[in-house]
Amino acid sequence: MVLLSACNNTPEKTKTAIEASAQYSDGVFINKKSDASTFSLKDSWNSAKRFLFEKDPESSPETQIPVKAMSQQSLEAERKLGDALYRIGHSSLLLNLDQEFYLIDPVFGERASPVSFAGPKRFHATPLTIDQLPEIKAVIISHDHYDHLDKSSIKALADKVETFIVPLNVGKHLRKWGVDSANVVELDWWQSIQVESTNTILTATPAQHFSGRTLSDKNETLWASWVIQSKHRKIFFSGDSGYFEGFKEIGERLGPFDLSLMENGAYDQAWEGVHMTPEQSVQAHIDLQAGALLPIHNSTFDLALHAWHEPLNRIEKLTHALNIPLVTPTIGSRLALEPLTPTQAWWKSLQTQQSAKHLDTVATAL
């Protein structure tokens, strides 16, 4: 682990760091496992065909997903109550650590898409707007895909955030969207930064994935998972990743963890190289030597063929069998990190209603 300071990250020094990175080869970033499959144009075409003919009829909810409204006033009142976490949706999270707020993969836009009029649309509203956020100490980004890096959100956050901490070369997007270069820190895997005037250390750690926002920029930016270590606890954020031996290495080098924020959703057998199944997410959690597990990357966008509730049901069954504490807070609700207490399976009543309606429709058709 290499501890850097923010002043080490000018665009020129970032370019030098990219060229020196062990993850960079022939002009693109690569996975640790050289034969790890990534998403090709052929994969995209095959997936598009399957989306037309194989999609589960319950891939999106028919009733409103519960959302607890948040506000700047409520967050300021809760700031001193202790460390806490709030799900904004999908993989977007707000962390309160030592009375400082951190945003992870903030996507406040209506769609996870390069255009505003098409593409995956939210199942639910965000629990608050960017204007309602308190001052944000740092934004942490895992990679540059649209469901994790949202242009409109970054532009709105540019003047509200002290520091944006991102994997190598992701900063080029931020600078183009109006973020001051002085406020951008770009890290390679196993590099760390201590957030200014705090005890919190952020470490970019390996992930098995890919990057790109157009057909012509695949893997020009690095992807990462993150270790967030404050004075009192240690949290792992998976970003997007296929299952690989890197989780065990992260656990050995930086674990154990109090909590894993683990990708669990938008998976498919054809995509296992870059997106984990629930079974693999649980194994990654075990490899990391983590305590409680909070599943992310679900319940906001329709990005796969499976039912929207399937990831939560599968991981609930798996963690119960292995006696792993599972926490599934509703969108917008405050999850105190000490002590971590059990949460309700909020999705089950919605699933029951939708499944019953689907069965009635099938019966009527017969």
pLDDT digits (tens, 9 = 90+) for 131-162: 999 999 999 999 999 999 999 999 999 999 99
pLDDT number for residue 42: 61
Q: Are 65 and 255 in contact (CB under 8 A)?
A: no
pLDDT number for residue 54: 81
Q: Which of helix, strand or coil describes residue 7? A: helix
**Section 195-223 average pLDDT:** 97
**Section 302-326 average pLDDT:** 98
Going by their DSSP bridges, the two strands 225-229 and 28-29 should be labelled as unpaired
Q: Which CATH class is domain 53-365?
A: alpha beta
331-343 pLDDT per residue, tens: 999 999 999 988 9
Residue type, 163: T
Q: Where are the domains of the chain?
A: 53-365
| Cβ-based neighbours of 56, under 8 Å, separated by 6 or more | 305, 306, 307, 310
Is the pLDDT reported for residue 204 higher than 70? yes
pTM score of the predicted model: 0.94
Q: Are 23 and 29 in contact (CB under 8 A)?
A: yes
Region of residue 227 (left: phi > 0; alpha: psi -120 to 50; beta: else): beta
Is the pLDDT reported for residue 4 higher than 90? no
Q: Are 228 and 261 in contact (CB under 8 A)?
A: no
Structure tokens at 186: 């770009």
CA distance linking residue 165 with residue 195, whole number of Å: 9
**Section 87-110 average pLDDT:** 99
Q: Are 354 and 362 in contact (CB under 8 A)?
A: no
Buried-state track 21-48, b at ≥16 Cβ within 10 A, e below 16: bebbeeebbbbeeeebbbbeeebeeebe
Q: Residue 320 CB: number of other CB atoms within 10 A? A: 10
Is the pLDDT reported for residue 261 higher than 70? yes
Q: Which of helix, strand or coil describes residue 221? A: coil
CA distances to 20, 109, 237 from 226, rounded to whole Å, are: 21, 23, 5
pLDDT number for residue 362: 47
Angle (deg, nearest 10), helices 278-287 and 310-321: 40
pLDDT number for residue 101: 99
SS3 content of the chain, % helix, strand, coil (to 5): 30, 20, 50
Structure tokens at 317: 């069954």
